[in-house]
């Protein structure tokens, strides 16, 4: 699945500012397809002004959005519909996915899909959730589990972006820890330097190599940091060789 296959559906949204913030959250994460079902505010007018103010630089998502009278009509062309809800019960979905699980599941799904969000105050109604193939929830403190609509969309959008976007090459300055091959090479270089200084006149090198390898792995040294460490020990060896034995 690609990000372009995903549709965000808002059922009965009541706050135009929230819809504008949803547009921005979507564009931040490469999502462009928005559908509204029975919005509870009038357009055009003051509501649209508020919406566009909150959708700053993401107005195109709103301009391309589609509006429907029912959720059934909004999902007729989709192969998978996932409803977001914090409530469970006899007439609701018994099993739900977290945003991470939802994104991982969609990685292998071939067709167009939608994430459906309910009204800011009441969420998805039971009938709306029954039209969904799956349910998903955002884990939160049980004392206050209800999230703002745009915040909820942002959480899902982030995980979808991470799951469905090819991993780019590490940017300059990105922390990439040494892999095991380079860890072992660094440990050998360091202990070779210590051996040149006469550090291992008695047994113990093998034990120290294990210690250094574990330490380097836990520290998460980068390639540049590993090279710098090698230079420190190499310089120590050179200084040791230049030192007058009579001193």
pLDDT bracket for residue 151 (50, 70, 90): very high
Q: 111 pLDDT exceeds 70?
A: yes
Average pLDDT over residues 83-101: 79
Segment 139-155 mean pLDDT = 91
Confidence of residue 92 (pLDDT cuts 50, 70, 90): low
| Structure confidence at residue 54 (pLDDT) | 92
Pull the structure tokens for residue 207.
Answer: 């034990």
Helix axes 46-54, 16-28, angle to 10 degrees: 30
Would you state the structure tokens that stand for residue 4, as one six-digit string? 């372009």
At 141, the pLDDT band (50, 70, 90 cuts) reads confident
Question: pLDDT category, 137, cuts 50, 70, 90?
Answer: very high
pLDDT tens-digit profile of 209-241? 999 999 999 999 998 999 999 999 999 888 877
Percent of the chain surpassing pLDDT 70: 94
pLDDT in tens, 15-72: 999 999 999 999 999 999 999 999 998 877 899 999 999 999 999 999 999 999 999 9
The enclosing H or E element of 135 equals: strand 134-136
Task: Report pLDDT for 204.
Answer: 81
Domains of the chain (ranges; CATH) run: 3-164 (3.40.1280.10), 180-242 (no CATH)
For the chain, the distance separating the N- and C-terminal CA atoms, rounded to the nearest angstrom, is 71
pLDDT digits (tens, 9 = 90+) for 71-84: 999 999 999 999 99
SS3 per residue for 57-107: CCHHHHHCCEEECCHHHHCCCCCEEEEECCCCCCCCCCCCECHHHHHHHHH
SS3 content of the chain, % helix, strand, coil (to 5): 45, 15, 40
């Amino acid at each position: 699945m690609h990000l372009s296959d995903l549709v965000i559906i808002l059922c009965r949204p009541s706050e135009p500012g929230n819809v504008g913030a949803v547009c921005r959250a979507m564009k931040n994460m490469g999502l462009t397809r928005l559908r509204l079902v029975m919005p509870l505010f009038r357009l055009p007018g003051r509501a649209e002004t508020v919406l566009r103010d909150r959708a700053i630089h993401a107005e195109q998502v709103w301009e391309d959005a589609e509006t429907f009278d029912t959720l059934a009509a909004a999902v007729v062309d989709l192969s998978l519909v996932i409803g977001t809800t914090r409530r469970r019960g006899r007439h609701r979905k018994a099993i739900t996915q977290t945003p991470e699980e939802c994104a991982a599941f969609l990685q292998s799904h071939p067709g167009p899909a939608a994430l459906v969000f309910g009204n800011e105050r009441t969420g998805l109604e039971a009938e709306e959730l029954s039209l969904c193939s799956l349910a998903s929830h955002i884990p939160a403190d049980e004392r206050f589990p209800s999230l703002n609509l745009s915040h909820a969309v942002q959480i899902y959008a982030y995980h979808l972006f991470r799951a469905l976007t090819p991993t780019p090459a590490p940017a300059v300055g990105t922390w990439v820890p040494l892999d095991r091959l380079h860890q072992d090479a660094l440990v050998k270089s360091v202990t070779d330097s210590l051996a040149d200084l006469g550090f291992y006149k008695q047994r113990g090198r093998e034990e120290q190599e294990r210690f250094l390898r574990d330490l380097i792995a836990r520290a998460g040294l980068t390639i540049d940091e590993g090279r710098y460490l090698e230079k420190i020990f190499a310089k120590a060896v050179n200084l040791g060789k230049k030192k007058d034995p009579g001193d």
